[in-house]
A = this chain, B = another copy of it.
C-alpha cells in the first residue's frame, strides 16, 4: 500500500470535517480564531489517522468514524496550546509558527485550549453521527479517551514533566512521563477505532498492545529527532530539549540504545496484531512510518 497517500487521504478527511464543524462563526471572534489557528497549524493528524486505521483493521466500514477520530485532534491540540504557555514550557514557536499565546495573548490561549478539550467531548457524545456505530460503544470509547487525557493520563504526564525539571535524571520518572503524556492518548486513539468497530475483547487487547508499543516509540523517536532532526523539518531548533536539560531517552540511554528501544517497541507492536488480516496493513505501515519519520 502507498502509506503516504493513505496518511494524506485520511488527514484530508479529518481536516475537512474539522473545517465544517467550526465553519459557523457562533463564538466570540478572537476565541474562534485562536481555536482554528491552532487546529490548523500543520499537524499530521496522527491520532485521528490511527483511529481510522484501527477502525478499518477491526472491520469498520463507514466514514462514521471521521467525526469521532477528529475529536482526538482537538484534545491533542488543546494539550499543545497549554504546554506551550509561559507558565509551562514557555515556547514561542510550534511547527515553525508563533504559538497561540504569542498571537492571541495568554488568556485567549488558555480559553482556546479549554474550549477544544470540552468540544472534543461534545463531539464524542454527539450521536447524530452514529448510524452503524452503537451508542454504548461510543460511550465506552469516550470513557477510554477521558481516562487517557485526565488526571490519570496525559495531565499527570505533563504535571510530572513540569515538576521534574532540573531534577536528577531517573529512568522510572522518564517512563512515567512518556507513558502518560504521549502513550496514553495514542493508545486510546487506536482503542477508539477498535471499540467503535464493535470489536470483541481479544481484538481490543491486541490493539491495546499495538497502541502501547507505537505510543511509547513515538515519543522515543521524538526525543531522538530533537537531537538529530533537521530544524527546518522539525519546525523548531534541534537540541532544544538538551538546552533546557530535559529528561529524554537519548539523555538517559544514549542515542543508539534509544534507537534500538524504539525499533523493538515497533516490532512488538506489529507482532501484537499478527493475527489480523490484510485490513490491518495500514496499522503495520503506520508503525514503520512512525519509526522512520524525519519530523
Binding site for B on A (CB under 8 A): 26-28, 30-32, 35, 78, 82, 85, 87-88, 105-108, 110-111, 113-119, 121-122, 125-127, 135-136, 138-140, 142-143, 146-147, 149-152, 155-156, 158-160, 162-163
A28 neighbours in B (Cβ, 8 Å): 156, 159-160, 163
A30 neighbours in B (Cβ, 8 Å): 159, 163
Q: Which of B115, B150, B152, B163 contacts A150 (CB 8 A)?
A: B115
The complex places the Cα of A237 from the Cα of B63 at a distance, in Å, of 55
Given A87-B107, A87-B110, A114-B155, output 9 extra A-B contacts at Cβ < 8 Å.
A30-B159, A35-B151, A85-B110, A87-B106, A88-B110, A121-B121, A122-B146, A126-B143, A127-B139
Q: Which of B82, B121, B126 contacts A114 (CB 8 A)?
A: B82
Known: A31-B156, A125-B146, A135-B139. A151 touches B115 (CB 8 A): yes
The secondary structure that dominates the A interface is helix
Contact B159 A118, beta carbon cutoff 8 Å: no
Q: Which of B31, B107, B135, B162 contacts A108 (CB 8 A)?
A: B162
The complex places the Cα of A147 from the Cα of B120 at a distance, in Å, of 10
Q: Which of B26, B135, B151 contacts A135 (CB 8 A)?
A: B135
Contact B127 A162, beta carbon cutoff 8 Å: no
Closest to A34 in B: B159
Q: Which of A107, A108, A139, A140 neighbours the largest number of chain B CB atoms within 10 Å of its CB?
A: A107
Contact B138 A122, beta carbon cutoff 8 Å: no
16 A–B contacts, CB within 8 A, in A order: A26-B152, A31-B151, A85-B107, A87-B105, A111-B162, A113-B114, A114-B114, A115-B159, A118-B146, A118-B149, A125-B125, A126-B143, A127-B143, A138-B139, A139-B139, A142-B142
The complex places the Cα of A142 from the Cα of B124 at a distance, in Å, of 10
The complex places the Cα of A138 from the Cα of B135 at a distance, in Å, of 11
The complex places the Cα of A156 from the Cα of B147 at a distance, in Å, of 25
A111 neighbours in B (Cβ, 8 Å): 82, 155, 158-159, 162
The complex places the Cα of A152 from the Cα of B126 at a distance, in Å, of 15
Contact A27 B152, beta carbon cutoff 8 Å: yes
Q: Which of A26, A35, A146 neighbours the largest number of chain B CB atoms within 10 Å of its CB?
A: A146
Contact A159 B82, beta carbon cutoff 8 Å: no
A135 neighbours in B (Cβ, 8 Å): 135-136, 139
Chain B nearest CB from A196 CB (Å) reads 14
Contact A151 B32, beta carbon cutoff 8 Å: yes
A155 neighbours in B (Cβ, 8 Å): 31, 111, 114-115, 118
A85 neighbours in B (Cβ, 8 Å): 107, 110
